[in-house]
Amino acid sequence: MITQTVIRRYPGKRIEGYRNSSPRVVKVLAVGQNARQIVEQINEEHRDNVVMSGGVDPDRRLPMDEPVNGLKPDAVVVVHQQGEPAAFPFAIERTASMLSFIVLETNGMLREQTENKKVRDLRAIADLFVTTSDSGFVKELVSNLAS
């Protein structure tokens, strides 16, 4: 005998009171000017659980998942435009939260030999590493993580 059950309670809805079912706080960091413009587009949505740290003191090496306005992020998304200088004022170390690193391609395939050392170091510790030429991917990823 085969029994099949389809549960269609509330697709896409959160389970009230379940700790893993609350919207995540997502921190988005831009490395480089072009990446900054993409992150500013995300910020225009004014989502309460998507945080940006704004200008950062380059001499202070804070953890990437440092709280912003008292909110500790559950996920950190770092965006970098291929070929731009990688001045990154955060400690490159494993975060307590999920770390996604998105490299926006401009010159085709990412070339290991031309990568900045910080970019290679971030790649090595990221939970999710994506190279894409679609800048809209970043907004979709952040929206998905924050929902």
Cβ neighbours for 137, distance < 8 A, ≥ 6 positions apart: 102, 130
> What's the burial of 5, exposed, middle or buried (CB within 10 Å: 0-12/13-18/19+)?
exposed
**80: three-class secondary structure by DSSP:** strand
**138: three-class secondary structure by DSSP:** helix
Determine the CATH number of domain 23-55+66-146: 3.40.50
Task: Give exposure, 40-74, as e/b (b: 16+ Cβ within 10 Å).
Answer: eebeeeebebbbebeeeeeeeeeebbbeeeeeebb
Q: What is the DSSP letter of 73?
A: P
Q: Higher confidence at residue 39 or residue 16?
A: 39
Q: What is the pLDDT of residue 6?
A: 52
Domain residue spans of the chain: 23-55+66-146
CA dihedral 119, 30, 27, 116 (to 10 degrees): 10
- Could you report the per-residue pLDDT of 69-115, keeping only the tens digit for each? 888 888 888 888 887 776 777 777 787 788 999 988 876 655 545 66
Residue 14, pLDDT > 80, answer no
Residue 26, pLDDT > 80, answer yes
